[in-house]
Amino acid sequence: MKAPQLSLDLEALRHNVRAWLSFLAGRELWAVVKSNAYGLGLVRVARACVEAGAQRLCVIDMQEARELREAEITVPIVHVWATPVDELEDAVKLNVAVTIENIETAKELARIAVGLGRVAVAHVAVETGTGWSGIPSSQGARFATAARLPGIRWEGAWTHIASREQMLAQLDLFNTAVATMRKVGLPVPVEHVAATAPTLWGAPGEAVRIGVGLYGGSPGGPMRGLPLRNAVSLRADVLYVKQFEQATSLGYGGTSVAKPGESIATLRLGYADGLPRALSSGGHVRLKGERCPIMGAIGMNFTMVKVPYGVTVQPGDEALILGDEEGVRLDEVAQRAGTIPHQLITSLAGLSGRPSA
């Protein structure tokens, strides 16, 4: 019995990086490879992004940065979270740009950098409406005055955009804070506020942090001039096919009924593999090039789909659940599952690299 497989098309990934770079028209693309590149493989994703032209990489902890450096990836790395004090020394040694959100941490960074005889690169996070991290937007002047310390080069400032509805108000807060810091004497020349969706909404900045957009996701909505390909695909084998002679309830809860004469194929794929159960209602797969609706509740290991009349399906045939075809693209499947493409990928990521037999 072959297990379901989640695959990453590295050439499609490179294509997407190049498409984003063309769309950005001179702004820098920083590839977000945090959380093991959404579970798809930190080093291989990072290397492909850099090969395609990504100028920097963004990580969520210092262990990821260490793995990248050990893999001899030398492009600048930015820690897009308030860097803990106990990781500052490692960051300086690994040549990672840290994020600072308070004066105490800035002073410790300066002490470490001077002690090592180096200049630490730092970015300041500004809190504008997520509550995750950053100096209060009203404290720009106070922070800048105290943060002019030896051993630190203040390279940039950033924030998280919470939603399209909040973006303009957040940008106002961010811009006010940055302008104040610059006026007081903290240069922070690089602004990066846009992730994938805010980039599509028109958020400004010298650089953008692209994460799910690397794989073909566009949660901000489709955009002309941005021909993304789905770089992630999910396939599962048909275990058996049954044609029902009488109306038969399917799966737990009897939420679907097979009509007399209908054929139902059972796939080796279920919620234990990360497939959202919400796809039980309105989800479908592609089998022999045809759209096959999911029938019944998705089980732990199995999913049933209705085979269209006139289509012959046999055990061992392969169903496409997620891929670069109409109806099963990343954004489409995520929307039907009532989730976001980021979560869909990370939920399925355990299948990436799993032995197929």
Rounded-to-integer distance, Cα 230 and Cα 54, Å: 18
List, by residue number, the catalytic residues. Answer: 34, 252
Opening angle at CA 182, ends 178 and 187, nearest 5: 105
- Closest residue by Cα to residue 270 from 289, 297, 250, 307: 297
Rounded-to-integer distance, Cα 58 and Cα 209, Å: 8
Report CA dihedral (44, 49, 55, 60) to the nearest 10 degrees.
Answer: -50
- Asked if 222 contacts 298 with a C-beta cutoff of 8 angstroms, the reply is no
Strand 120-127 and strand 96-100: the pairing is parallel
- Asked if 206 contacts 221 with a C-beta cutoff of 8 angstroms, the reply is no
